[in-house]
């Protein structure tokens, strides 16, 4: 999954961060979320794009649970992919923190 923070460049630059490598390092150190910087995927270093991977769950178990539940809501995600849910919450916190 690709995620971008170009919309927040002004706020991020106030942290002294101007490249996707530096932002990936900052988010890892301060929010414990790993993101691969966009420069590794052909983006310019000043473009704040990243790749994050959602691979920390048992896909077969999730699909079986989905077939039984027929609905994916927040509780389903928390129950079956807790680390992913937590990671997304940390990214949301980062955005909230820089937006204040």
- Could you list the mean pLDDT of each consecutive 10-residue stretch along the chain, which spans 100 residues? 94 97 98 96 96 85 90 92 93 95
Rounded to two decimals, what is the model's pTM?
0.85
Using a 10 angstrom Cβ sphere, with 0-12 exposed, 13-18 middle and 19 or more buried, the burial of residue 38 is buried
Helices 20-31, 82-99: axis angle to 10 degrees equals 110
pLDDT at 53: 86
pLDDT at 78: 93
Looking at the structure of the chain, the number of domains it has is: 1
């Amino acid at each position: 999954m690709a995620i971008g923070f170009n919309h927040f460049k002004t706020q991020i630059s106030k942290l002294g961060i101007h490249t996707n490598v530096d932002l990936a390092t900052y988010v890892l150190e301060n929010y414990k979320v790993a993101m691969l910087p966009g420069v590794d995927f052909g983006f310019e270093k000043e473009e704040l794009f990243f790749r994050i991977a959602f691979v920390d769950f048992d896909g077969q178990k999730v699909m079986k649970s989905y077939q039984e539940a027929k609905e994916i809501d927040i509780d389903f995600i928390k129950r079956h992919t807790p680390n992913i849910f937590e990671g997304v919450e940390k990214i949301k916190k980062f955005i909230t923190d820089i937006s204040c």
